[in-house]
Amino acid sequence: MPETINAAVIGLGILGSQHADLLHKRPEVSLTAVADLRRDVAEEVGARLGAAPYTDFREMLRAHRVDLVVVATPDPLHRDPTVAAIEAGVPNIVQEKPLATTWEDAQAIFEAAEKHGARLFVNYANRATPLDISTRYVVQNDLLGRVVYGESRLDDNISVPTSMWGDRTKEWAAGSSTVHFLLPHVVDLLRFYFSPAEVREVFAISQQEVLGYTPDVYDAFLTFDTGMKVRVKAEWIKHIDELVEFYMCFSGAEGTLIYNKRGGFGTAPGWRANVSRSIDEKTLIGHQSALLALGSNVAALLHRPAPSTGTLKAGGGDLVPALEFRGLGYGEFMAMPDHFVDAILQDTLEPTCWQGLGPLPTHIDGLRQTQITAAIVRSAETGQPITLE
Ligand SMILES: NC(=O)c1ccc[n+]([C@@H]2O[C@H](COP(=O)([O-])OP(=O)(O)OC[C@H]3O[C@@H](n4cnc5c(N)ncnc54)[C@H](O)[C@@H]3O)[C@@H](O)[C@H]2O)c1
């Protein structure tokens, strides 16, 4: 186990500067060097955090022998710095999502990591949110019965592709899309919740009417090897009050989970699983305690739903057990990179802070994610469903 991790960051924009700050804060990490094409940015971050600044990441890799490199360049620009760091002998990489925007880039990164035995973590940040961990818990413990259908919408405010990166925004958004910027989170979460299920078929549409330089929306149906179908939609032309709107719903044979992660407006965030009626009171309380241990202080409810609209009423009436969380459930935004540092210190893919949740996401998950997101792009282009190996 290394006592001190010597680290460097490549790409010091919105995310990379947060990675640099996080590494600087950890007492076990020495932030040695930082690189950004923009000299003023590299020098500002370097001076603030006591790291040597570079504009050329290859020169930085030649000058410093480090244990960890974080790569946080824009979406289509992950391959070169990640592969260069691996080939320079860096044993640990933390790379921002998506693993890549093309299947070719993803394969090149994957092969480099395999060939050199590098540990490569991908920052699928949502995995660390207590309510996402709780969603996985509900699914993995079969509290909904067999899940057959799901839907997700992860949408951005239109200000993201029109102004979030200042003067660079149009070029940034044109080099990416909602498939590469937003859907990697959703695709990865589905694989996390429903592990070991994998996507076998993809059918997608897209539309480009408003922005012009990048598609406005991708809307895809994913069919899993369990037979489950999940609709995943992501647009970035929404005129909403929030930066992000994120909603998910899963229907099982015996229960339904609705996860309103971030409302656009008018909708309170919250998380509720109406679980199988076969679950008795004592077992329900046991699940509540288990979720508390995972970081979600949920209420255990036995309630009597009475579905009605105006004068219309449907069945219901029986007591239904449920687990519910009200309020914001974002969690800590940089929690995942913190787990990666612990994993490196403990020389494992499943550090003590991540026990019971499987290995932290690696290049293997990244390859799968890119296979799915690349298939979404291809399906939308060709109008054909794509079968995945
Ligand atoms: N995990 C998450 O939740 C999350 C959230 C937002 C963004 N991201 C991802 O983080 C990545 C970075 O996004 P961002 O918003 O910080 O972008 P950004 O444009 O703000 O930052 C990227 C930085 O990389 C620099 N850069 C580009 N090419 C370079 C090179 N060859 N060498 C050195 N520096 C280079 C740019 O100058 C810029 O400063 C993206 O892949 C994005 O999808 C992840």
Whichever domain contains 70, its CATH number is 3.40.50.720
Lowest-confidence region among 106-115, 173-182, 292-301: 292-301
Cβ-contact 260, 268 below 8 angstroms = yes
Q: Out of 326, 357, 374, pick the residue that ends a domain.
A: 326
What would the two tokens of residue 298 be? 């949920």
**89 and 160, same domain (yes or no):** no
Non-local (6+) Cβ contacts of 356 within 8 A are none
Determine the average pLDDT of the residues in 45-71.
Answer: 98
In a domain, 343, yes or no: no
**250 and 317, same domain (yes or no):** yes
**215 and 322, same domain (yes or no):** yes
Q: Out of 123, 139, 163, pick the residue that ends a domain.
A: 123
CA of 11 to the centre of ligand 1 (A): 6
**34 and 164, same domain (yes or no):** no
Compute the distance between CA of residue 102 and CA of residue 122 in angstroms, rounded to an integer. Answer: 16
In a domain, 373, yes or no: no
For residue 151, the SS3 value is strand
Determine the average pLDDT of the residues in 51-55.
Answer: 98
Q: Is the CB of 164 under 6 A from ligand 1?
A: no
Take atom 3 of ligand 1 and give the residue whose Cα is closest: 125
| The pLDDT of residue 333 | 82
Determine the average pLDDT of the residues in 67-81.
Answer: 98
Q: Which residues pair with 352 in a beta bridge?
A: none
CATH classification at residue 269: 3.30.360.10
Q: Out of 93, 123, 153, pick the residue that ends a domain.
A: 123
Q: Is the peptide bond before 351 cis (omega within 30 degrees of 0)?
A: no
Q: Note the pTM of the prediction, 2 decimals.
A: 0.97
In a domain, 376, yes or no: no
CA of 272 to the centre of ligand 1 (A): 34
In a domain, 378, yes or no: no
**178 and 271, same domain (yes or no):** yes
Domain count, the chain: 2
For the chain, give the mean pLDDT: 95
In a domain, 170, yes or no: yes
Determine the average pLDDT of the residues in 22-29.
Answer: 97
**137 and 117, same domain (yes or no):** no
**222 and 135, same domain (yes or no):** yes
Residue found by looking up tokens 């993803």 in the block:
106
In a domain, 316, yes or no: yes
Q: Is the CB of 36 under 6 A from ligand 1?
A: yes
CA of 201 to the centre of ligand 1 (A): 30
Compute how many other C-beta atoms are within 10 angstroms of the C-beta atom of residue 267.
12
Pocket probe for ligand 1: among 9, 10, 12, 15, the residue whose CB has the most ligand atoms within 8 Å is 15
What would the two tokens of residue 141 be? 């413990």
Going from the C-alpha of 91 to that of each of 173, 268, 344, the distances in angstroms are: 32, 44, 10
Compute the distance between CA of residue 88 and CA of residue 90 in angstroms, rounded to an integer. Answer: 6
Of ligand 1's listed atoms, the one at least distance from the Cα of 38 is 37
Going from the C-alpha of 274 to that of each of 142, 153, 246, 365, the distances in angstroms are: 12, 20, 20, 30
Compute the distance between CA of residue 82 and CA of residue 341 in angstroms, rounded to an integer. Answer: 17
User: Residue 122 pLDDT more than 60?
Assistant: yes
User: Would you call 21 exposed, middle or buried from its count of C-beta atoms within 10 A (0-12, 13-18, 19+)?
Assistant: middle
User: Residue 106 pLDDT more than 80?
Assistant: yes
Compute the distance between CA of residue 325 and CA of residue 297 in angstroms, rounded to an integer. Answer: 7
Cβ-contact 33, 52 below 8 angstroms = yes
**204 and 312, same domain (yes or no):** yes
**241 and 167, same domain (yes or no):** yes
Cβ-contact 220, 199 below 8 angstroms = no
| The pLDDT of residue 100 | 98
Take atom 36 of ligand 1 and give the residue whose Cα is closest: 11
In a domain, 366, yes or no: no
**161 and 16, same domain (yes or no):** no
**275 and 318, same domain (yes or no):** yes
Torsion angle, CA of 332/257/260/22, rounded to 10 degrees?
10
Of ligand 1's listed atoms, the one at least distance from the Cα of 124 is 1
Q: Residue 2's pLDDT band (boundaries 50, 70, 90)? A: low
**104 and 16, same domain (yes or no):** yes
CA of 78 to the centre of ligand 1 (A): 9
Q: What percent of the chain has pLDDT over 90?
A: 90
Q: Is the CB of 41 under 6 A from ligand 1?
A: yes
In a domain, 141, yes or no: yes
Of ligand 1's listed atoms, the one at least distance from the Cα of 56 is 32
Compute how many other C-beta atoms are within 10 angstroms of the C-beta atom of residue 210.
15
Expressed as residue numbers, the domain containing 300 is 127-326
